[in-house]
Amino acid sequence: METVAQKPKYNLNEEQEKKLILREYRALLRCLKTRLKPGDRRLLRHAFEMAADAHKSMRRKSGEPYILHPLAVARICVEEIGLGVRSTICSLLHDTVEDTDISLDDIQREFGSEIAKIVDGLTKISNVIDVNASQQAENFKKILLTLTDDPRVILIKLSDRLHNMRTLDSMKQEKQLKIASETVYVYAPLAHRMGLYNMKTEMEDLSMKYLEPDTYREIARKLSETRRERSRFINEFIKPLKDKLDTTGLDFEIYGRPKSIHSIWNKMKKKGVAFEEVYDLFAIRVILNAPPEREKEDCWKVYSMVTDEYNPSPERLRDWLSNPKSNGYEALHTTVMGPNGKWVEVQIRTRRMNEIAEKGLAAHWKYKEGNNEENRFDKWFNQIREVITTQDIDSVDFLSDFKRSFLAEEIYVYTPKGDVKMLPVGASALDFAFSVHSQVGSKCIGAKVNHKLVPISHKLRSGDQVEIITSGKQKPTEDWLNFVVTAKARTKIKDALKEQKKTIAEEGKYTLQRKLEAIGAALNPHNVEELMNHYKLGSALDLYYGIAVKSIDLKDLKEFKVIGDRLEIPKPEKVHLEPKPAHDPAKIPHKDTELIIFGESSDKIMYNLANCCKPIPGDDVFGFVTTGKGLTIHRTTCPNAAKLMANYGHRIVKTKWAKNKEISFLTGLRIIGMDDVGIINKITNIISGDMRLNISALTIESTEGVFEGSIKLFVHDKEELEELVGRLLSLNGIHTVERFETDTAA
């Protein structure tokens, strides 16, 4: 990966450093000015001096004094989340227990148990998502238990992570990749779920800057180039609305704001369009100053005026006034057809709603005055608490289950009595059954959705009314895991299956013991581990179960060596991954080609190219140590990259390409264009004739004058591929040429 430009070397003398630290501390006090009560200033000063003294010999990677980091985290908490004095003290002290001689008892003695408890929570989660996978599940669980205990822990942790992302330039490249991946995989969705939209957006953009630097720079450049044109369009769009609103006497402001680079990139990928074709590069926001009793009425009044002026897209109305999101977000969103045939998103909300949208949970607390809306957060926390106190944390699926279940957008569905249940998008009737009660879920055989009979796998939509049908004879089965997205349902199903499995597995264990003893080996942990690796299984239970249900045939045992009472697995033969085109065998990369250089040394190591993303020289890549398979090379933009780096940071190896023009790599292009006589001929002429590249496979399908083709071919590196893409795009009638990931069957 191309390294991000480094900051100039830090070079202040001791006197200048002291002034800088004091300046930052005073800036923090200014932010807190309106919230300081008698005695607070003294406590803050004490916390600052204690942290500054504890960290005095420590430096950040950039060379700056370490204390600047806690000061910056405290400022983010105050300015961007709206937290107060207690949280500021905790932010200043958040790294002291872990990194310095200060103990938790010292903090309790000086600042009391409330602050000690939060600092303890921050200390527990400081190394989360790092060690091995099952320990990481345990650590992440600690974060979430603390989150449900005192949400300030997670808010300070998010501020800490945001400041680390803002100062990531001075880190080594592999650390940048790991931290950015964790951020986009866990912390950005968590910020979103806590209602911190600005923070979530900045985290996603900063992660993209390190994970996909070329795309990030390209979109940033195009946004910059189109700024003037966008401003002109926004003004043209706003003017008639402003004139209308002025006549109503409403107190309002209206403005346009650009979408984030990350969300534009997501749109480009999801819709398969170029930057120029992403219609909503910005949103128009109307913010009203309205008293609580008139908020809804005024927002709908503005909506009516917007849709009188511009035609709305009926399926793009989002009413979060009647049903706010569980993170407190309230607003009306609509997409309308603006001037020059461009779709524009309009967001309508009040000042109170806007503060909750920007400052999330902290603002939500500020405004809760005994109304029912506060229960949405509490419900969410209670759901998390229920799952993590019963969750079996052997499972490395914990994090992905949590993401799917608690960090997704939600839908609202109703029980037959009209009670509302909150579920993640994509939830099925079976998820609903488990949310009612574990027993209801386990016995569920179907459901009535809006009085119509549906299977348990039926996906629910917001507003559905659901009645569950149960039977005493029903038992959970393996395929149920394909129908559910909530962590509670998955946990309960897995528990039930495990119980069923254990009973059957006992028989398999006995069979294995007999077979091993027959060849002079024993049923011991070493042999079980060897057999698990041989059959590529994740647990001994799976092995015993497979033997019991006869999906594993133990005839392979006779190929094993027995040394003492231990088995030794026969070594598998090496295989070539790439298909060989008949006409040029010399250009095929062999599996044992020396190609990748690791670390600082120039040792060359054997590797596999990941089938999920098929890297080629010139791609930004990282190595991943795979159990039983050695090293696998992935692109940093691989769909699995964020998950691997976030979950298994310790297995990531720094990787770069060695120069080797002799070897070519399989990759694929998808081409879309107008179906024209001779177009195929022109494409193959460029590939085989002009650029002398080998084609491995070519398929073209034409429908009503438009053709879509996919070509698998061998290239030497990314530059060669980019040159080919440029040449193909210059042909008349070719609309798009993009690289796709060749699959295992390639």
pLDDT of residue 376: 55
The CATH number of the domain holding residue 257 is 3.30.460.10
Asked if residue 484 belongs to a domain, the reply is no
Question: Please, where are the H alpha helices in 79-172?
Answer: 85-93, 96-99, 104-111, 113-124, 133-149, 152-166
Do 170 and 97 share a structural domain?
yes
pLDDT of residue 279: 63
Do 350 and 293 share a structural domain?
yes
Q: Could you give the residue numbers annotated as active site? A: 98-99
pLDDT of residue 644: 78
Do 58 and 79 share a structural domain?
yes
Mean per-residue pLDDT pooled into runs of 10, the chain (746 residues): 42 81 90 85 90 86 87 90 87 86 88 86 60 48 59 85 90 84 82 82 92 88 85 90 90 87 82 73 88 92 93 85 79 89 89 82 53 52 60 52 62 81 87 90 90 89 87 87 86 86 86 82 83 80 85 76 74 46 38 43 63 81 75 82 74 72 80 82 86 86 83 86 88 84 44
Distance of CA 373 to the CA centre of its chain: 28
Do 203 and 85 share a structural domain?
yes
Dist CA 513 CA 524 (whole Å)? 9
Q: Which of 182, 211, 240 is the last residue of a domain?
A: 211
List the one residue out of 709, 604, 611, 606 whose CA is nearest residue 665. Answer: 611
Distance of CA 601 to the CA centre of its chain: 33
Question: Tokens 């004058």 belong to which residue?
Answer: 705
Dist CA 146 CA 151 (whole Å)? 7
Do 669 and 630 share a structural domain?
no
Do 700 and 640 share a structural domain?
no
Q: Which of 189, 211, 233 is the last residue of a domain?
A: 211
Domain ranges, residue 631: 594-657
Asked if residue 376 belongs to a domain, the reply is no
Do 354 and 253 share a structural domain?
yes
Cβ-Cβ contacts under 8 Å for 528 (sequence gap 6 or more): 540, 543
Q: How many domains does the chain contain in total?
A: 5
Question: Please, where are the H alpha helices in 692-741?
Answer: 718-729
CB 332 within 8 A of CB 318: yes
Cβ-Cβ contacts under 8 Å for 647 (sequence gap 6 or more): 129, 133, 136, 185, 396, 399
Tally Cβ neighbours within 10 Å of residue 691: 14
CB 350 within 8 A of CB 288: yes
Cβ-Cβ contacts under 8 Å for 704 (sequence gap 6 or more): none
CB 140 within 8 A of CB 399: yes
Q: Which of 308, 336, 367 is the last residue of a domain?
A: 367
Do 67 and 207 share a structural domain?
yes
| Two tokens, residue 572 | 């598998």
**Total-model pTM:** 0.62
The CATH number of the domain holding residue 131 is 1.10.3210.10
Dist CA 156 CA 95 (whole Å)? 11
Asked if residue 325 belongs to a domain, the reply is yes
Asked if residue 476 belongs to a domain, the reply is no
Do 185 and 258 share a structural domain?
no
CB 365 within 8 A of CB 378: no
Asked if residue 297 belongs to a domain, the reply is yes
pLDDT of residue 661: 63
Asked if residue 414 belongs to a domain, the reply is no
pLDDT of residue 254: 93
Do 245 and 121 share a structural domain?
no
In the beta sheet, which residues pair with residue 311? 337
Angle between helical axes of 113-124 and 85-93 (0-180°, round to 10): 50
Q: Where in 690-740 does DSSP place strands (E)?
A: 694-703, 706-715, 734-740
Tally Cβ neighbours within 10 Å of residue 345: 18
pLDDT of residue 703: 79
Do 35 and 184 share a structural domain?
yes
Asked if residue 723 belongs to a domain, the reply is yes
List the one residue out of 104, 101, 138 whose CA is nearest residue 120. Answer: 104
Asked if residue 130 belongs to a domain, the reply is yes
pLDDT of residue 402: 63
Do 203 and 229 share a structural domain?
no
List the one residue out of 192, 298, 282 whose CA is nearest residue 245. Answer: 298
